[in-house]
């Protein structure tokens, strides 16, 4: 099982590493990071660099394509060659997925036109400008296309996809092994629940 995650400078780290942690435990799975020019790729927070050795153009097919978000999405969205590659790879995937603003890359490639989808709450208007229908859910599935909301929701998406790729027992075992049992200290994890002052402060973080 070949899983491919494109990484470009200023990627959101948990968008990529959360699903990677889950999907790498799938029996027989290989997770590959790819980029435009092999070398060191910097995350959005400025302290993490990842050495990526594979050029995305070298990949002709994969079982799962997972697009993370972050400001790196702009590079992907504005690169016609990359968007062409996404469309070609999508034609042969079992699942094409996104985390957070990675959904905008799928939308820019024309894969979400007329479909329900989710993304980070700050990107709703932009997502809909590409013809997608925003749905305020943590994970949204349209057959082979699965989008997930902001940052941490990629873990939920990866676990759901793990069940689809293998079986529910395997997915549940991965959830148990990683001890993914969220008990957040505050009930402000969505726009619907966050007080106005928290929402305003959150807008300064991106």
Boundaries of every domain in the chain: 2-202
Structural fold of domain 2-202: Rossmann fold (3.40.50)
pLDDT tens-place values along the chain, 206 residues long:
999 999 999 999 999 999 999 999 999 999 999 999 999 999 999 999 999 999 999 999 999 999 999 999 999 999 999 999 999 999 999 999 999 999 999 999 999 999 999 999 999 999 999 999 999 999 999 999 999 999 999 999 999 999 999 999 999 999 999 999 999 999 999 999 999 999 999 999 98
- Interatomic CA distance for residues 178 and 172, integer angstroms: 10
> How confident is the model at residue 206, as a pLDDT?
84
CB 59 within 8 A of CB 7: no
Query: Which residue of the set 65, 99, 100, 103 is catalytic?
Result: 100
> How confident is the model at residue 107, as a pLDDT?
98
* Beta-bridge partner residues of 3: 31, 64
Please report the beta strands in the chain, taking only residues with DSSP state E, as ranges in sequence order.
2-6, 30-35, 39-42, 49-52, 54-55, 64-67, 95-99, 116-117, 133-134, 139-142, 145-148
Q: Is 100 assigned a catalytic role?
A: yes
pTM check: above 0.85 = yes
> How confident is the model at residue 31, as a pLDDT?
98
Give the three-class secondary structure for 130: coil
- Interatomic CA distance for residues 6 and 75, integer angstroms: 11
């Amino acid at each position: 099982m070949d899983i491919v995650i494109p990484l470009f400078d200023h990627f959101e780290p948990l968008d990529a590493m959360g699903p990677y942690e889950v999907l790498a435990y799938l029996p027989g799975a290989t997770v590959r990071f790819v980029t435009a020019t092999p070398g060191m790729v910097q995350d959005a927070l400025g302290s993490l660099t990842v050495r990526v050795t594979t050029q995305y153009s070298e990949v002709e097919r994969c079982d799962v394509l997972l697009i993370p978000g972050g400001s790196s999405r702009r590079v992907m969205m504005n690169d016609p060659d990359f968007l062409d590659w996404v469309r070609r790879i999508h034609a042969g995937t079992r699942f094409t997925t996104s985390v957070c603003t990675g959904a905008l890359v799928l939308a820019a490639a024309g894969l979400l036109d007329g479909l329900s989808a989710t993304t980070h709450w700050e990107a709703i208007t932009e997502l809909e400008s590409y013809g997608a229908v925003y749905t305020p859910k943590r994970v949204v599935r349209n057959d082979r296309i699965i989008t997930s909301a902001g940052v941490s929701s990629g873990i939920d998406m990866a676990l759901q996809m793990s069940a689809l790729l293998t079986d529910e027992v395997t997915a549940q075992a991965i959830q148990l092994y990683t001890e993914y049992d969220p008990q957040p200290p505050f009930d402000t994890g969505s726009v619907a629940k966050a007080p106005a002052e928290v929402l305003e402060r959150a807008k300064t973080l991106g």
